[in-house]
Amino acid sequence: MKPTHPLAAGLAIFIVAWLALAPQPAPRSATAQTSPKPAAAGAGKPESPPPAKPATPQLPGQPPAINPETFRMIETIEKKNRELKRREEELNLKEQRLRVLEEKIKADLGKIEAALARSEEQLGIQNERIRENINALVKAYSSMKPEQAAVLLEALDENLAIKILAGMRSKAAGKILSQLDVKTAKNISEKMAGQNRTPAGKKRGD
């Protein structure tokens, strides 16, 4: 008797183990047992079924790999979105600053307008007081003698003296001018002629 080859022995052991672990076929019915099918003519031994292949374990599904071009496109879109968001935040911040600056400018303009209105009012009051004071001086100097009025006018500021003489009647002002120093009277007369000209066709009352 020839010795069994080790490879054949291993194959036989594998087949026996596989048959032992393989599921057994369901038992046939009595009719099938009593009336077996006739064997085909010329058939020899019944052939054993081929060994079943072991089931390949299925791994859980993996996501398909992302195309590099698609990945770059996604990165570009995200980068643009971040840039747009940053610009939007900057614009919102600038708008807020502009609104604050606009409100401040409006408040400052309101203060300036109020100050101008007060200044105009005060200036009007001041001018009115000046006119009242000059009118009072005109009455006072008109009631003096020309010699006395001339002495006092020479001591006053020239502009104020001109305003007083301009408010007086021409006859009274002429008498006072005649009592003044020649140079002083000349300067006052020239300035009165240039600054206080009356419209054509109108004369100051005597």
pLDDT at 84 over 50: yes
Distance CA 98, CA 120 (A): 32
pLDDT of residue 31: 46
Average pLDDT (26-47) is 49
pLDDT band at 54 (very low <50, low <70, confident <90, very high): low
When mean pLDDT is compared over 30-44, 54-68, 98-112, the highest value belongs to 98-112
- Reduced to 3 states, what is the DSSP secondary structure of residue 201? coil
Asked which of 34-38, 115-119, 152-156, 168-172 is least confident by mean pLDDT, the reply is: 34-38
pLDDT at 43 over 70: no
pLDDT at 58 over 60: no
Q: Is 39 exposed, middle or buried (0-12, 13-18, 19+ CB in 10 A)?
A: exposed
pLDDT, mean over the chain: 75
pLDDT of residue 199: 46
pTM of the model: 0.39
pLDDT of residue 47: 59
3-state secondary structure 140-191: HHHCCCHHHHHHHHHHCCHHHHHHHHHHCCHHHHHHHHHCCCHHHHHHHHHH
Distance CA 185, CA 153 (A): 10
pLDDT of residue 29: 47
When mean pLDDT is compared over 4-13, 84-93, 151-160, the highest value belongs to 84-93
pLDDT of residue 68: 79
When mean pLDDT is compared over 2-6, 13-17, 22-26, 106-110, the highest value belongs to 106-110
Distance CA 130, CA 114 (A): 24
pLDDT band at 83 (very low <50, low <70, confident <90, very high): very high
Question: So where are the chain's domains?
Answer: 68-134, 144-206
pLDDT of residue 60: 53
- CB of 153 closer than 8 Å to CB of 164: yes
Average pLDDT (178-202) is 74
pLDDT of residue 206: 44
